[in-house]
Structure 1
Amino acid sequence: MRSGTRREFFKDSLAAGALAGASIGARRSDTAASYDRISGANDRIRIGLVGSGGQGRADLNKMIRIENVECVAVCDVDDAQAAKGAALVESVSNRPPAFTTRDFRKVLDQKDIDAIIVGTPDHWHALPTIMACQAGKDVYVEKPLTVAIAEGRAVVAAARKYNRIVQMGTQQRSAPHYSRAVEHVKSGQLGKIRLVRAWAYLDWKGEIPVVPDSDAPPSVDYDMWLGPAPKRPFNKNRFHSTFRWYWDYSGGLMTDWGAHMIDIANWAMGIRAPNSAVSVGGKFGYPGDAMETPDTQQAIWQFPEFSMIWEHALGVGRGPEAREHGVAFHGNEGVLVIDREGWEIYPETDAINKPRRYKSPGMPRQSAGSSDYHATHIRNFIDCMRSRRLPNSEVEIGHNSMIACHLANIAQRLGRQVKWDVEKEMIVGDPEAQRYVSREYRAPWKLAI
């Protein structure tokens, strides 16, 4: 790909044109009219759920408990999952959604729907989000924002072009204890930060036994489930929650939990993306199981003034600092460690030409408390739909937090370092690696802004 502006980058990276058989122009609604429907604090907001799996329903459950928010449509390619979503709506709202469908485009066609939740498998995040923006709807999209960097930039462009509110489901951005810890990092009290370390060691996710391909369940539109991903026979290991361990649909634990933890690093350090990435690892814990993505992985990213390390492992739970997940900011004066339960500061030491001493007083564990920051994050989205202010994890934040994750996986798959032009959002001097920045869509699906 030639060098150039982001506009030129899109021309080279993304297939132009609309979805075959779908009129994008017909799906666009007037932005002002859309805004007028929800501009009053007492106006009812109507939601459609696209992807009624566990996470999609969890998001929906929080959203429909907010005053003057209702779900009028549930979409899933699996009728059984759609039925669960519809049952949830009825149990909370005392009435079922107006309709269920296997085709998200039918949700977008409904002019009275103000926003959608995208809780689909990861390979289906970009298209519904972009097409919802084109249809004049706001979007709460689960992490990771997309499975390729070019898709993420396209989602940002669509949100900007159609003036839509798009929030990614990295709920730590709405957690008070994360905000306080981030402000402490930014205050300079830790001294110069030279290293950031992030990790996820999940002892509650383990081996996936190999099973043969089979027919898809009769309740499933499997071709629609595949969507833009390559055509292949149905296999239950590649379906529903375990899809994330296959490159066609996701990026393994690197993009699953990396989306959360790397986002905290980006937030505190005020960064967009690294200059380079290298990654090692493999299927070391379960070499014979069915997963494609690494069960053990370490990545290193270079930034102009510090480096960042990621590590993950499946089936074991003692990560750095003897905890399952977290982010550690190593400064000259102290080390701040944070996870979903709280944060603390360990003082650094100095023994240069003198007895060892502490450089700073440190701070004991600060509890996260009982805040339901998933609910707060959902409410932030709804509030921003009304105010038209950018939400806590708005789409560009979501896109930037994923770049490091995707670059690490590209380096992992190719077995070499990749260098990144932060401004042009292109890999430098490696045409083979650059091909991984975008993804090829299976016909008739195409990406258009």
Structure 2
Amino acid sequence: MSSRRKFLQQGTLLTGGALLASAFAQNGFAYFRNNIMPSDQVRIGAIGINGMGWSNVTAALKVPGVVLAAICDIDQSVISKRQTDLQKMGIDPNTVRVYNDYRKLLDQKDIDAVIIGTPDHWHALQMIHACEAGKDVYVEKPVGNSIVECNAMVAAQQKYGKIVQAGQWQRSQQHFTDAVNFVHSGQLGNVRTVKVWCYLDWKQPLDHKPDSAVPAGVDYKQWLGPAQNRPFNINRFHFTFRWFWDYAGGLMTDWGVHLLDYALMGMKADTPKSIATLGGKFAKPDSADETPDTLMALYEFDKFNIVWDHALGIGNGSYNRDHGIAFIGNAGTLVLNRNGWEVIEEKKNEPRVAIPFQKSTDNGLNKHWENFISVVRSRKAEQLNCSIQEAAKIARLSQMGNIAYRTNQKLFWNTQQGKFTDNNINQKYLAAQYHNGYKLPII
């Protein structure tokens, strides 16, 4: 035990500068995994392995010394697919334990850290239970499906002292850091507006589908968990769950936590004074989606505004980009997205500033995992690129936008009390409604 603890705390020889992670291909990583003493490994379990959950597994296994100890999913067809994937990766599936109940995975004593890649409505419970079980956690975004859930997740990390990283992997990309540093340099002049947008032309509104029998091999009761009990409908399952209020918050929380995050970082901001929205199901009013396909949200701060703008089924966003963040200053506008950043000069103002396009050159997800594992080993939580505290802040902001939309009101936030000034709004929307006997733990 002492040898293992010493390695986890001093394992920067393996991950400190991420040099090894960028120097070897997958076969090289397999060599390191197979030649590190078992007591020196970081053993992970993955809960929810259909989408980003599995992307996280593959990224994690590129970090030397990381071993996949267990997988968990409520869909047997997904488990079978991933067992085949493990074989293709040169990993014997028989060495990886399989569960369909995440609590049993958490009981596995030799697991050091877990991935939570389940639908949004499960994130809070599973993260809290994982911390209770003594596991470090990598939880997908958005971290909470309500403001109260976000608060509980922060409290759980503080109570149990575990390392908790959120899957906002853009925080590990160098060009995002460079762009924010430029904003902070003051060269843009006074920034009065930050525009944030996401236009997804590959996502069209959902057609209505009839309820049906639960597919063979799916534990639908376990999938629903704390969500309202409803008949099975394929529209509400797997990827498209995110367009229904029972489980998620639509594009505002799905992409908003990535993009609005950088608006807050660039402006060194926390919570807004007020929030107002306009939008609806304008692309296809009779679609099966519950969340709006078109939405604009205005966040008011003391000396600037943040504007969120999203649209499904359209790809022509601001500055001819389908997503991005624009810091609009007196001397120039910095435009940033996953591809890179540039500064467009303000031609009639002095001094002028312009920077040609700076292209992204790294893999954010891989670097995010290198960061997480390095902190699991060092126990220096302050070195996380996206702590649960930071992730909760931006998840709350996205939830505020959705609540303003759902209430059709301009809302005012009391920062000191951590709630809206309207108690009727707080009672109805601050916490997610739990069903089927589930309760959010009181931390």
Common topology (TM > 0.5): yes
Distance 1:34 1:102 in 2: 29
Distance 1:34 1:108 in 2: 19
Q: Secondary structure at the match of 1:277?
A: strand
Q: 1:85: how far off?
A: 2.7
- Pick from 207, 231, 234 the counterpart of residue 233 of structure 1: 231
- Is 1:253 the counterpart of 2:251 in the alignment? yes
Q: Secondary structure at the match of 1:242?
A: helix
Confirm or deny: 8 A CA contact 1:349 1:359 kept in the other structure: no
Alignment of 1:77-92 (within 5 A): 77-92=74-89
Distance 2:4 2:394 in 1: 29
Distance 1:417 1:171 in 2: 32
Confirm or deny: 8 A CA contact 2:227 2:436 kept in the other structure: no
- Pick from 264, 267, 286 the counterpart of residue 266 of structure 1: 264
Q: 1:40: how far off?
A: 4.2
- State the AA in 2 paired with 1:267: M
Q: Secondary structure at the match of 1:132?
A: helix
Distance 1:395 1:101 in 2: 26
Q: 1:333: how far off?
A: 1.7
What is the match of residue 434 of structure 2? 441
Q: 1:429: how far off?
A: 2.5
What is the match of residue 103 of structure 1? 101
CA deviation digits over 1:213-234, x for unaligned, max 9?
A: 1111021010110000011110
Cα 1:76–1:381 shift into 2, 3 Å: same
Alignment of 1:12-411 (within 5 A): 38-41=8-11, 43-96=40-93, 97-350=95-348, 358-369=350-361, 371-390=362-381, 391-411=384-404
Confirm or deny: 8 A CA contact 1:333 1:360 kept in the other structure: yes
Q: 1:434: how far off?
A: 4.2
CA deviation digits over 1:85-143, x for unaligned, max 9?
A: 33333332421143111100011001110000000011111111011011111111111
- State the AA in 2 paired with 1:52: I
Distance 2:213 2:6 in 1: 47
Cα 1:301–1:98 shift into 2, 3 Å: same
Q: Secondary structure at the match of 1:392?
A: coil
Confirm or deny: 8 A CA contact 2:229 2:436 kept in the other structure: no
- Pick from 396, 414, 427 the counterpart of residue 421 of structure 1: 414
CA deviation digits over 1:224-260, x for unaligned, max 9?
A: 1000001111000000000000000000000001010
Structure number having the greater helix percentage: 2
Q: 1:400: how far off?
A: 0.4
- State the AA in 2 paired with 1:137: K
What is the match of residue 28 of structure 2? none
CA deviation digits over 1:260-297, x for unaligned, max 9?
A: 00111122122222121111101100112110000000
> TM-score, normalization: structure 2?
0.90
Please identify runs of 4+ aligned residues in structure 1 that moved more than 6 A. none
Q: 1:195: how far off?
A: 0.8
Q: 1:38: how far off?
A: 2.8
CA deviation digits over 1:162-190, x for unaligned, max 9?
A: 11111111111000000000001111111
Q: Which runs of 5+ in 1 are unaligned?
A: 1-29, 351-356
Q: Which runs of 5+ in 2 are unaligned?
A: 12-35
CA deviation digits over 1:392-414, x for unaligned, max 9?
A: 01100000011111001001001
> TM-score, normalization: structure 1?
0.89
Q: What is the aligned-residue identity percentage? A: 43
CA deviation digits over 1:351-386, x for unaligned, max 9?
A: xxxxxx5531311111112x1111001111111101
**128-137 vs 267-276, which moves further:** 267-276
Distance 1:396 1:39 in 2: 22
Distance 2:416 2:67 in 1: 41
**373-382 vs 360-369, which moves further:** 360-369
- State the AA in 2 paired with 1:364: P
- State the AA in 1 paired with 2:372: F
Distance 1:432 1:196 in 2: 27
Distance 2:425 2:91 in 1: 54
